[in-house]
Amino acid sequence: MHGLKICKVLDMALKTGRPVIGMNDSGGARIQEGVASLGSYAEIFFRNVRASGVVPQISVIMGPCAGGAVYSPAITDFVIMVDQTAHMFITGPEVIKTVTNEVVSFEDLGGAATHGSKSGVSHFTASDDEHAIQMARDLCDLLPANNLERPPMKKTSDSKDRACEALDSIIPDDPAKPYELCSTSSPRCSTTGVFMEVQAEWAQNIVVGFGHLGGHTVGVVANQPKVLAGCLDIDASDKAARFVRFCDAFNIPILTFEDVPGFLPGTNQEWGGIIRHGAKLLYAFAEATVPKLTVILRKAYGGAYDVMSSKHIRGDYNVAWPSAELAVMGADGAVEIIHRRRIAHARNPDQERERLTEDFKETFANPYKAAALGYLDDVIEPNQTRQRLSRALEMLMDKEELRPARKHGNIPL
């Protein structure tokens, strides 16, 4: 009966185009109901899938959520878990101990901290039930009610034309020095100063979240140089790809801040399927038809440059700061490959390497060659970023993009 009630709510949400918020705090199915309880689960899952991309779905986990019950939150767009009281897992600690002889606590197995930082199942961690409900409200304030509407406009007295001088100093002079992108570019470009980060503790080498630009809700995707130098790895690719697809489904423009030296090298990444996972992000950006604005801050190397909403996969407005470097790889590595013999036979190899590296930087490691080829729309000063993005977004809000008729694509899952 409870399953039937949930199904009716989901059916009504689809009919009326209203978001769905599910609050989970249950021991699961009644064993004495047998297969009937399993049928109710499946009916709920089916409706979650039907509603995906039609109305926003948010799951708030306030207590236990185990076994088959976990699949409904997993299908929804966002999962909010309450710290210390919420637990999600397929099989509990007792079963795991019996089968594998592993000893693990409820919290370590499926608590908010675990799913927020290790598995990526949870998107937000709340301190208590009240905080979790407020998070769901804040999220709804940023989102449209359904896929046929635009996100709500946020009134602001802050002028779109205000220059942001603070952006002039966020890039270190040393190209190898990391910096904190999340607390600099994203909030400062927002016209409300609000940035709601999603999955903040998982795959921290990429930042995703919601902000405002010219009063419009925008989805922000940004490489984080402070973690793994901003490289894309398996988890970062998955995290960003899912976020991009959500934004595209609900008419939310995507703003990309790029500083990426490439994909993370290593046998663990290769054997874990970085090719397939990296392709998810490429697919998501290429498939998206919402306005896509990209700012290259510093490094844009190799295939990672192509993947991060480049002009080649139909970024609508692509600009770079003067500090940007667009190249197949960094100057040091490129010189070692191109001029290996020349350096080896030089009278002073170190001096020759340094000279060739500087020549490479002047010729290739800058944004002007890419701009001349039409891969960038402009090279702008950092303090102009907010103004230029706001104007571009206003122009692009009414864009229309036709795609070939198809049932659906086959994203490399």
Q: Would you name the residues annotated as active-site residues?
A: 67-68, 303-304
Q: For residue 212, what are the contacts with CB-CB under 8 A and spacing of at least 6?
A: 154, 156, 190, 191, 192, 194, 218
Tokens for 338? 């191109």
Q: Is 147 in contact with 250 (CB distance < 8 Å)? A: yes
Q: Which of 51, 202, 237, 210 is nearest to 121 (CA)?
A: 202
Q: Provide the sign of the torsion angle of the four alpha carbons 123, 128, 133, 134, taken in this order.
A: negative
d(CA 252, CA 142): 10
Q: What secondary structure letter does DSSP report for 124?
A: E
d(CA 209, CA 80): 14
Q: Which of 73, 75, 99 is nearest to 86 (CA)?
A: 73
H or E element: which one contains 343? Answer: helix 340-344
d(CA 18, CA 245): 19
Number of helices (H), then strands (E), in the chain: 17, 14
Q: What burial letters (b/e) apply to 226-236, b meaning 16+ CB within 10 Å?
A: bbbbbbbbbbb
**Strand partners for 65:** 88
d(CA 77, CA 74): 8
d(CA 394, CA 54): 25
- In a 10 Å sphere around its CB, with 0-12 CB exposed, 13-18 middle and 19+ buried, how is residue 103 labelled? exposed
Q: Is 86 in contact with 62 (CB distance < 8 Å)? A: yes
Q: Is 295 in contact with 188 (CB distance < 8 Å)? A: no
3-state secondary structure of 226: coil
Q: What is the bridge-based pairing of β-strands 206-213 and 196-198?
A: antiparallel
